[in-house]
Amino acid sequence: MTEETKQTLEAIQLLVLDVDGVLTDGQLVIHADGTESKCFHTLDGHGIRLWQRAGLQVALLSGRYSEPTQRRADQLEVAHVLQDCHFKLPALEKLIAELDLTPEQVAYIGDDLPDLPAIRHVGFGVAVADAVAEVRARADYVTTCGGGRGAVREVIELILKTSGRWQPLMERYLV
């Protein structure tokens, strides 16, 4: 890893996550009554908790509204949940301004074309392994895990370990 990449990761204060295809594998189960189901990976959820314990912020930014997304955000105590954002970059820019951050202090994980402007705008843009080719080609980092299969955890560990914030979090587990 280059010194420039290390400095980039050390500056990250906010992790913004697309939902469908990043926190999930992208599949939607629509029930006969119109409700839907999604599967979230527990490794990603624990990774988000570790991120929060490190004193860092997380946000969900989705192009569509989904009750399961809101419920998962509530379970993980994610304070910033932006749904039904068909144009993600303006919503991201507004959030960055509200949090008094710069784009360089933000990492964004996405998988599809609507994520591309956000990925290119932030300090560390990430594509999940099964993202579309155009997103993978323009990301700063491509995960080895697919969306909904630990990709978020992979990025969280990368940033926390590179920035020296991982080891203090491990003390509670390595007693």
Our count of domains for the chain comes to 1
Q: What's the whole-number average pLDDT of the chain? A: 96
CATH of the domain at 13: 3.40.50.1000
Domain contains 111:
no
Domain contains 16:
yes
Does residue 117 contact residue 89 with C-beta atoms inside 8 Å?
yes
CB-facing half-sphere around the CA of 96: CA atoms within 13 A: 21
Domain, as residue range, for 50: 3-102+135-170
Rounded CA-CA distance 142/133 in Å is 11
- pLDDT recorded at residue 135: 98
Rounded CA-CA distance 49/119 in Å is 23
The 10s digit of each residue's pLDDT in 109-123 is: 999 999 999 999 999
